[in-house]
Structure 1
Amino acid sequence: MLYWLMKHVFIGPILKLFFRPRIIEGAENLPESGGVILASNHLAVSDSFFLPLKLSRRVTFPAKIEYFTGKGVKGAIKRWFFSGVGQVPIDRSSASAAQAALDTGVRIVREGKVLGIYPEGTRSPDGRLYKGKVGVAWIALESGAPVIPVAMFGTDKANPIGSKMWRPYPIRIKIGKPLDFSRYAGLSGDRFVLRSITDEIMYALMELSGQEYVDVYAAKAKETADETSAADRLPDKKAG
């Protein structure tokens, strides 16, 4: 009920008014029932809001647990909001927590629901498409569900990194054809198979989105950029 209210009464109408999100092709690639995995590129936090808005089926996104553990009124509002838009808390602070997150993804898909996931693991720091993490492949093999690539366009313009306010900008969405990995059934423990599947998913996303591909994890690229920025701020000892 809360999800329906957020989509059709509270958040949905506002997003439609200012951003005019639309699926430009491929809506027929999402089956009307059954568990599926939507694997999307990740340009902005707002990706998780705009994609469900244009789909007839409910989409469940794993979200970092910090969104659900805040204290006071602000924390309560965040919990209400993120729960309302279909996100579930995921703790990724340890290896066991990461496995629990994957298990949650499998459970969601086996229940016949739509799981939204970002194979890059975090937002792209510069609009390019980064190396995918193999969790999406593991969920696909354990659940037996197809993976449907999704490309978001314009969300990084509407919701730039570091911005506190969203800006009106037309959002576009492309949904690709389902990818079937049943030929790898029973091989979820093979890391080479998981990498092969993940790379196939990322290639499909690259073709769908038109983004330049970078064979580096986005988190590593952000870390390197932060280190470079910090080094640039250091005083030049030769100066003076």
Structure 2
Amino acid sequence: MAIEKTILDKVEKEIVEKSITEHEEEEGDTSDNIKWKKPNIKFLYNLLKYNPIDPLNDFYHKIIEHFGLVEKEQRVQWWLANIWVKQAVRILWRYESVYEDGELFPDYDGGIVVSNHESHLDPFFAGCACNRKISYMSKDENFKTPIVRTIFKNLSAFSLGERGNKEQVEKAWAHAKKKIQEGEWVGLFPEGTRSMDGEMGDFKTGAIRLAVDGGVPIVPMAIFGSKDALPKGNLIGTPVQVRVRVGKAIYYDEYKGKLTPKLIKQLTAELREKVIDLIAGKGNFSKIKRNFEDIKEELSIGSPKDKKKEGEKSKDFNYWLKYYKHYFLQSIDDAWITFLKLLGEFGLKDAFHELAWRFNHLIVNFLTENFFPYQSFGYENVPDTGAAIICSNHNSEWDVILNAKCIVKDKNRILWQMAKQELFQMPLVNAWIRTHSAFPLKRSEGDRESYKFARDLLLDGKLVMVYPEGTSSLGGGEILEPHTGAIRLAIETKVPIIPVGVTGTENTFPKHSKIMYCGKGSTFKAGEPFMEHVQYFDKPMPEYDELKRLSNRLMERIKDLMVYDDQNA
């Protein structure tokens, strides 16, 4: 306790002296304002130092540790904070985040987040862009600072250890490695400290070492405005706008077992350059819709020129109406996602998915019986138990609803579906599809995380829906060039593929349409299992040309199941 009191007194003295110096520099005098400021800062820090929150939190954590609930409690705390922190940053700093090439933050497995660092609030701003639990590595002093230590501890941050204490530092890195191996994310600020002047310092090499050793990606970020939101050395923030640019995940699989000191420095320099590029606005962010505007993002957020432009804009009633409408919808979406995450922590998520599908089945049943008729055949070919991949042609968004309904109605099973990641960027739509067992897929390139998630579902005996075409066609019997992912998955997991021919859904809900048309019939016909890939079970994955041939054969089977000669039969 004596050591801790000494440290607190030292921290208090340094901050008080720094605050007075900064004030003198800004005001250019030592008037009564200075005499007023010093005792008030001392009073505030004494108030913080003797607060009752820290000891109560310490006692609470002793109880949690006694019952072995530390990890679960940290996850619950994080997801509850996911609601109030996002509300706070949107209200106080009009927070928003944009993503390079429109790619969402990875939904699966572990990894590392790195960014520039200008404020104590940076972990919160970065965390709000992730939708994953992030454990931040932080300097040891933060775990001795009143109130801050409670917040950091409750949000699963961990100490880097005392400066110069090799044993504590090694323990911190071992903890970080354990986290990413468990599929969680670790947050690092490679500069090692906050910037005072906005210039980004050199990166330390720890992030690269950890990523290569753990076989996980690094997601780079650039945070704008946090320096003014809560400057270094200040206690009270200012209401500026804060934005985050999120780069695409960087993978280092090719460097496993090949790292040299020179290569580590090179990769670290490249990572720093990537963050600099994000700060400079390099990369494609124009596809992203602002939280409340459909306009291109400025490429130099925070520059004097941009600030001047922003000052010239007149924000009328419609502007703020759009802003708060999106804020309201996003808040509901955040709360619902937190609810789903908490269900998962208590082992209730699968049961809730099933309940949601039962309820959804009743709604869709009412719609199909009264407005949008359909027929289904051949679903006895879908296994009653065990894993299988369901593959169909894709004419309309209505396919997604009715493919799942057919499985629930005829087999009383839940269907997990890959869905384009753009849907997960829409408030409420994101909540709805996650509730109904959908998971995001990047369509622009091979999505290793989505593939691994689908593989794990199949290995767990689930039914997974894959649309080999990758996007919807205009219908009418047209089929598009298939991708090879379904065949790869089936070979790796040794499961059958059930082909389904879909007919007529493009008449009910045409591509790009915003309305549905009543009275248009559709047909779903499931065929016998496609098993031509079985010859490659327990063998090396065949070459691309062979995978492509099998994918084309699968699409031929699907086309044979369409009934466009009598689509209302």
Question: TM-score if structure 2 supplies the norm length?
Answer: 0.34
Show the counterpart of 1:44: 119
SS at match of 1:8: helix
CA distance in 1, matches of 2:148, 2:233: 18
- Note if contact 2:225-2:242 (Cα within 8 Å) is conserved in structure 1: yes
CA distance in 2, matches of 1:174, 1:181: 21
Match status 1:20 vs 2:94: yes
- Mark the CA change 1:98 to 1:187 in structure 2 (over 3 Å): closer, same or farther: farther
Shift of 1:19: 0.8
Task: Give a deviation string over 1:112-164, Cα, whole Å, max 9, x none.
Answer: 11111111111122101211101111101110111111110110011112211
User: Cα RMSD between the aligned structures?
Assistant: 1.9
1:199 to 269, 276, 280: 269
1:124 to 195, 209, 226: 195
CA distance in 1, matches of 2:83, 2:127: 11
CA distance in 2, matches of 1:132, 1:65: 19
Q: How does 1:184-195 map to 2 (within 5 A)?
A: 184-188=255-259, 190-195=260-265
Match status 1:97 vs 2:173: no
Match status 1:144 vs 2:226: no
CA distance in 2, matches of 1:181, 1:101: 22
Task: Give a deviation string over 1:203-232, Cα, whole Å, max 9, x none.
Answer: 111111129xxxxxxxxxxxxxxxxxxxxx
- Mark the CA change 1:97 to 1:187 in structure 2 (over 3 Å): closer, same or farther: farther
2:149 to 73, 79, 82: 79
Shift of 1:92: 4.1
Show the counterpart of 1:34: 109
Moved over 6 A (4+): none
- Note if contact 1:151-1:205 (Cα within 8 Å) is conserved in structure 2: yes
CA distance in 2, matches of 1:7, 1:107: 23
1:61 to 127, 133, 136: 136
SS at match of 1:50: helix
Shift of 1:69: 4.0
More helix, by proportion: 2
Quick one: higher RCO (CA 8 Å, sep 6+), 1 or 2? 1
Question: TM-score if structure 1 supplies the norm length?
Answer: 0.78
- Note if contact 2:158-2:172 (Cα within 8 Å) is conserved in structure 1: no
Partner amino acid for 1:15? V
Partner amino acid for 2:94? R
SS at match of 1:106: helix
Match status 1:153 vs 2:224: yes
- Mark the CA change 1:192 to 1:180 in structure 2 (over 3 Å): closer, same or farther: same
SS at match of 2:98: strand
Task: Give a deviation string over 1:173-212, Cα, whole Å, max 9, x none.
Answer: 1111121222211134x2112111111100111111129x
SS at match of 1:101: helix
1:180 to 251, 269, 285: 251
SS at match of 2:106: coil
- Equivalences, count: 204
Partner amino acid for 1:50? F
CA distance in 2, matches of 1:110, 1:54: 22
Partner amino acid for 1:82? F
CA distance in 2, matches of 1:5, 1:180: 30
CA distance in 2, matches of 1:126, 1:136: 23
Where in structure 2 are there 5+ consecutive unaligned residues?
A: 1-75, 282-569
CA distance in 1, matches of 2:129, 2:120: 16
Show the counterpart of 1:217: none
- Note if contact 1:49-1:85 (Cα within 8 Å) is conserved in structure 2: no
CA distance in 2, matches of 1:120, 1:158: 19
Show the counterpart of 1:228: none
Range with greater deviation from structure 2 (24-33 or 52-61): 24-33
Match status 1:7 vs 2:82: yes
Show the counterpart of 1:220: none
CA distance in 1, matches of 2:215, 2:266: 16
CA distance in 2, matches of 1:157, 1:210: 18
CA distance in 2, matches of 1:203, 1:127: 15
Shift of 1:29: 4.3
- Note if contact 2:105-2:131 (Cα within 8 Å) is conserved in structure 1: no
CA distance in 1, matches of 2:267, 2:175: 20
- Note if contact 1:144-1:185 (Cα within 8 Å) is conserved in structure 2: yes
Partner amino acid for 1:134? T
Q: Which has the larger radius of gyration?
A: 2
Range with greater deviation from structure 2 (141-150 or 90-99): 90-99
CA distance in 2, matches of 1:200, 1:105: 22
